[in-house]
């Protein structure tokens, strides 16, 4: 009990000082480059990259993201903004509102191409976004988090989401050699990384005693996930629910409501502040951590490097961390979560109006 209390106090203390911890990057980033580019099964090699501290001009970056409705993309936003400020460059960010906002993101892409931006960073709502655009892509494009299929895209910042599913499945299999049922609620159907997570999980569970008992999809909205979880639990009681962070956050309260907290284990495909609290409190058994703040910083850093003459970096991003009780990365609040009081910022060093104001 005393040790748990100490962990919670440390966690709260880190939340308070996290803005200071994120103020500057003076140490090299530990990263992975993966090959072949854009394929599901990849080999990775560890690399170390010292972040840039200056840019040779005030580059103008246009950034597109699916939404800023959860702390995954808010963490990405925080990293983007911090590195843009550090390099004293311009950044304008536009969100599509959800993974179903293809038309809106296409319109935003058109604006990025036609306006005076030097490069475009795209967290796409669809891997075919650039092909759907149907017009020449006249500026450098760097993919962020999600797949982006186009012959002009040769750099993607992020992790392998198939491997996220593999890691989660391996954790579950390590907990029991008995038959177990797993229900999936990984995110919007075939959008973002949800299909890759599911495929990694399915492939890893082959020839194991574990079976997938249900697959549900919803946009990243806690109320939608509550509905999906209630529909699931009204029909069955799985041993595990593996879901997006938003689904797992909803799952904590739903399991309590159904008095199933001690029977059904929660596993998150990625991290959020609420998931981290759940791990500390023993309500969440496991979470991947793909270090989204670092991903945001890296996206700006790599884009500037390429604008200044560097070759394409291919698939590059942080190493996926595994978090569970008594095994939490000491740097989690520096690399993975925005400060507790952070609100998304859409404009850095630009006269354009910030839509949040």
pLDDT tens column, 215-256: 999 887 889 999 999 999 999 999 999 999 999 999 999 999
Per-residue pLDDT at 18 exceeds 80: no
Q: Can you read off the two tokens belonging to residue 58?
A: 């005030």
Mean pLDDT of 320-339: 93
Domain boundaries, the chain: 2-33+56-159+292-318+336-348, 161-289
Which CATH number among 3.30.565.10, 3.90.1150.10, 3.40.50.2300, 1.10.150.120 corresponds to the domain 2-33+56-159+292-318+336-348? 3.40.50.2300
Mean pLDDT of the chain, nearest integer: 92
Per-residue model confidence (pLDDT) at position 8: 46
**pTM listed for this prediction:** 0.91
Please calculate the CA angle 34-39-42 and round it to the nearest 5 degrees. Answer: 40
Per-residue model confidence (pLDDT) at position 326: 87
Instruction: Return the closest-CA partner of residue 182 out of 202, 154, 157, 153.
Output: 202
Per-residue model confidence (pLDDT) at position 64: 99
Mean pLDDT of 261-288: 97
* Domain covering 161-289, topology: Rossmann fold (3.40.50)
- pLDDT tens digit sequence for 43-92: 999 999 999 999 999 999 999 999 999 999 999 999 999 999 999 999 99
CB atoms within 10 A of CB 122: 27
Could you tell me which residue, 91 or 1, shows the higher pLDDT? 91
Per-residue model confidence (pLDDT) at position 177: 86
- pLDDT tens digit sequence for 161-210: 999 999 999 999 999 889 999 999 998 887 778 899 999 999 999 999 99
Please calculate the CA angle 67-226-243 and round it to the nearest 5 degrees. Answer: 65
Per-residue pLDDT at 337 exceeds 80: yes
Mean pLDDT of 21-36: 80
Per-residue model confidence (pLDDT) at position 125: 96
Per-residue model confidence (pLDDT) at position 354: 63
CA distances from 123 to 11, 53, 146, 166 (A): 30, 24, 6, 23
Percentage of the chain exceeding pLDDT 70: 92
Asked if 292 and 334 touch (Cβ cutoff 8 Å), the reply is: no
- pLDDT tens digit sequence for 114-167: 999 999 999 999 999 999 999 999 999 999 999 999 999 999 999 999 999 999
Per-residue pLDDT at 279 exceeds 60: yes
Give the pLDDT band of residue 12 (cuts 50, 70, 90). very low
Mean pLDDT of 306-317: 98
Per-residue model confidence (pLDDT) at position 329: 84
């Amino acid at each position: 009990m005393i040790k748990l209390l100490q962990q919670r106090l440390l966690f709260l203390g880190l939340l308070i000082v996290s803005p200071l911890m994120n103020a500057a990057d003076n140490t090299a980033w530990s990263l992975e480059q993966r090959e072949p580019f854009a394929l599901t099964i990849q080999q990775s090699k560890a690399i170390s990259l010292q972040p840039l501290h200056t840019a040779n001009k005030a580059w103008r970056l246009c950034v597109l993201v699916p939404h800023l409705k959860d702390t995954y993309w808010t963490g990405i936003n925080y990293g983007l903004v911090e590195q843009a400020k550090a390099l004293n460059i311009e950044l304008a960010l536009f969100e599509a509102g959800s993974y179903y906002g293809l038309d809106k993101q296409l319109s935003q892409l058109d604006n990025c191409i036609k306006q005076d931006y030097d490069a475009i960073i795209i967290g796409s709502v669809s891997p075919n976004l650039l092909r759907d655009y149907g017009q020449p892509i006249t500026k450098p494009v760097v993919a962020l988090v999600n797949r982006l299929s186009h012959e002009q895209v040769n750099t993607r910042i992020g992790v392998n989401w198939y491997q996220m599913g593999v890691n989660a499945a391996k954790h579950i299999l390590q907990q029991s050699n008995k038959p177990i049922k797993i229900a999936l609620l990984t995110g919007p159907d075939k959008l973002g990384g949800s299909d890759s997570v599911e495929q990694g999980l399915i492939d890893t569970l082959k020839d194991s005693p574990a079976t997938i008992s249900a697959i549900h999809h919803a946009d990243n909205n806690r109320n939608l996930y509550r509905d999906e979880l209630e529909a699931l639990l009204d029909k069955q009681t799985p041993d595990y629910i593996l879901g997006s962070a938003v689904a797992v956050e909803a799952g904590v309260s739903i399991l309590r409501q159904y008095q199933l907290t001690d029977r059904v284990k929660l596993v998150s495909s990625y991290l959020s502040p609420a998931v981290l609290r759940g791990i500390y409190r023993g309500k969440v058994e496991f979470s991947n951590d793909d270090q989204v703040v670092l991903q945001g910083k890296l996206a700006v850093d790599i884009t500037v490097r390429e604008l200044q003459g560097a070759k394409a970096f291919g698939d590059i991003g942080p190493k996926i961390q595994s978090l569970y009780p008594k095994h939490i990365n000491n740097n989690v609040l520096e690399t993975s979560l925005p400060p507790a009081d952070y609100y998304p910022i859409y404009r850095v060093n630009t006269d354009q109006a910030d839509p949040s104001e």
